[in-house]
Structure 1
C-alpha cells in the first residue's frame, strides 16, 4: 500500500508545473534556545488573562483514553481520542453530541484515523484513512455525509474553501516527496510549495505539526526547526529556531535505530498566538524529558522551564501539552482526580 502511495506521489510531483516557494522575510526572528538554561517555572500569568473550565460529560462512560488533538469552532468542541474511541463531538458547555468510531470497511467506516481536521465554513469533520485510501466527511452532529477516494499519503491536512485540501508531508526519506501542497476534491495537485529537501536524511518525528488558523495554518518544520505561516499560495517563515540540542545533520543521515539520542531534543508540540509562542520539546535525558519554552513577541523575552505553573487560580495539570484552539484561546487537559470518566478542560484565555 505504501509503495503505491509513493509511486503516485512521485508521478504527480514530476508532472507538476505550477509551484511556489517557501519564503523568508528579510528579518526573520531567530530564537536561540538552550534547554539546559531553565528557569524555575513558566507562569500562566505571563501569557494568560483568565481561565475557564469545561467538563466533557461522557455520560458515565470512560470512553476517552486521552486527547490526541482538539478543535474549537464557535459552540462545538471536537476531539480525537488517543486510542480507539475515535472522534468525539461536544457542545462548548461539555455535552456529548455524538461519537464517530465507525471502524470497518463500509463506506461510512474507516480502518484507522491517520489525521483529521474540520471545515469551519460548512461545519464538517474530515477524517483521513490512508489504509482505505479515502477521506470520510461527517457533519458536526456526527452524521455521515460522503466518502471521497484519495491516494494521497500525508501526515496532516486542512480544508480550505471549495473543498481544497492543504496537505503536509514532512517525511524525510529521500524516495518520498517532502513539503506542502494543495489538491482539489479529485486529488489533482493545484500548487506545490517547495521546501529545501535534506539530502539523505532518514529521520522523522511523528506528532502534531500544525495550528489551524482560518484559511491557513502554522507549521513547525522539525527538519529545519522553523515555524511557517502557510496559506494556499505560500509558506512564510516567521521564526527560525536555533536549538542547541538539535540532532546534528550527520546523525540525521543514519538509520534512526542506530542513532544515540541521549542529550538531543525534538519539538513535541506548539501553540501560537498574536502575542505568544509556546513550544514543548522532548529532551532525551534521564529524568523529566519535557521542556517548555515561552516566547513573548512584544518583549522578545524567552523563558525555558521544565514546568508550566498555574498561578492564576492554582488548579494544576501534569499534562505535557497545551493545545491551540484559536489565536485567543488555548487549553490544557486536567488530571483525573475524581475518577468519574469525564475529562476536564482548562480553557486558557490569552492576553
Structure 2
C-alpha cells in the first residue's frame, strides 16, 4: 500500500435533501482496544476455521484476471471484480467462467471506471458504480444491461438494501461534499440519512473496503471513528467501537493529505465478519511488513493481533493480505500461484 491510496478530492455536488427523514441510529457497542505493536501471538486458521475447500477459477486459458479486488457469492454463483480492466467476471461455484461484464466506454450501458460493485441476490442483479460519471449501472446475472441511474451526489461505496433502495457511503469529509451514509431510491431521491457528527475539515481518507453484504444487514466500518455498524433500511446499530492505538490523530487529519508524512499510524484496510468472529486487516505505515491482523473471538472476547495469518489445517499458505467475506459462515483467500499460468485458486474457509 502506497501513499497514492490517500485520496484528497474536492468536488462541488448538490447537498443532501434537507427534508429527508433521518435513519434511526442506536449504540449497543462493545468497546475494544487494538494495539498493532502487540503482535506476540500468531493468528492460526484453526482458531476460526473448521475446514477448507478449494475452487479453481477457470478462465478458459485466457489470462484475463490480473488481481481480485472484491468477491461476492450467491448460492452457486461467484462474482469477482478484477483490479484492472477485466471488469466483473461471473463463475459457477465449480469455477467455470460463464459471463463477463467489461463494457468500458461512454455509452449508457458502459462504464469508464468501476469504483465498487455489489449484487442483489433476491432479484439476481449486479450493480456497478462508475467512479468517473457517478452512475450506477444494473445488469442481470447473465451480464445483460438493464438500466442506469445517475447520482448527483459523490459516492465512494454502496450496497443494495432489501427494499431495493441504495445505501450510499461517503466515508470522509470535504467542504464541498456531504459526509456519511444515506439511502436513495432509483431516481436518486434521498429517502433517509444516518446522522453522524461531521468531522469538520477532516480531509483524510484511506481507500479500501467499507461493507460486508449479509442477508441480515450491511456491515459497515467507519474509519473516521473506528466504529463497526450493522445497517438495515431502518436502523444503524453500532456494534463495536475500537480504540486503535495507532489511529491518526484528529489534528493531523485536518491537514492536506498531500502534506502528511505517512509513518507510524494505521487504518483499517478490510474486514470480514462472522457469527462468531471478526477479522480486521490494518495497514500500518512502518518500514517493514505493513499489514497487521486483529481477530476478535466473540465468545471469549479475546483479541489476537498478529503480523501473519497462518494455515495450520492443511498448510497451504497464502501471502495475500486480503481475506474476503463471502457470508457469515464463509471467508475466502486467494492463493499466490496461478494454475496453468492463468487460473486463480480460491481458498474457501468454512468458519466455526
TM-score range, shorter chain: over 0.9
Contact 2:339 2:345 in 1 (8 A): no
**Mapped partners of 2:49, 2:235: distance in 1:** 31
Shift of 1:264: 0.5
Shift of 1:338: 4.1
**Mapped partners of 1:55, 1:172: distance in 2:** 41
Closer/same/farther in 2, CA of residues 17 and 150 from structure 1, 3 Å limit: closer
**Mapped partners of 1:96, 1:20: distance in 2:** 40
* Of 125-134 and 56-65, the range deviating more from structure 2: 125-134
Contact 1:164 1:185 in 2 (8 A): yes
**Mapped partners of 1:71, 1:226: distance in 2:** 23
What per-residue deviation string (whole Å, max 9, x for no partner) do you get for residues 5-48 of structure 1?
A: 7432x1x33x23411343212xx211111111013420000000
Contact 1:174 1:201 in 2 (8 A): no
Q: Secondary structure at the match of 2:251?
A: helix
**Mapped partners of 1:74, 1:19: distance in 2:** 34
Q: How many positions carry a matched residue from both structures?
A: 344
Shift of 1:209: 0.5
Q: Secondary structure at the match of 1:31?
A: strand
What residue number does 2:252 align with? 251
What per-residue deviation string (whole Å, max 9, x for no partner) do you get for residues 114-139 of structure 1?
A: 21110111111011114334221111
Aligned residue runs from structure 1 range 1-351, under 5 A: 6-8=12-14, 10=15, 12-13=16-17, 15-25=18-28, 28-214=29-215, 216-336=217-337, 338-351=339-352
Contact 2:71 2:81 in 1 (8 A): yes
Contact 1:130 1:152 in 2 (8 A): no
Closer/same/farther in 2, CA of residues 141 and 299 from structure 1, 3 Å limit: same
**Mapped partners of 1:218, 1:177: distance in 2:** 21
Closer/same/farther in 2, CA of residues 201 and 265 from structure 1, 3 Å limit: same
**Mapped partners of 2:207, 2:63: distance in 1:** 27
Unaligned runs of 5+ in 2: 1-8
**Mapped partners of 1:162, 1:274: distance in 2:** 24
User: TM-score, length-normalised on structure 2?
Assistant: 0.94
Shift of 1:63: 0.6
**Mapped partners of 2:305, 2:148: distance in 1:** 45
Closer/same/farther in 2, CA of residues 337 and 7 from structure 1, 3 Å limit: closer
Shift of 1:337: 5.3
**Mapped partners of 1:130, 1:290: distance in 2:** 27
Contact 1:160 1:215 in 2 (8 A): no
Closer/same/farther in 2, CA of residues 163 and 6 from structure 1, 3 Å limit: farther
**Mapped partners of 2:13, 2:319: distance in 1:** 43
**Mapped partners of 1:173, 1:215: distance in 2:** 31
What residue number does 2:6 align with? none
**Mapped partners of 2:329, 2:253: distance in 1:** 36
- RMSD, matched Cα: 1.5
Unaligned runs of 5+ in 1: none
* Of 47-56 and 151-160, the range deviating more from structure 2: 151-160
**Mapped partners of 1:162, 1:276: distance in 2:** 28
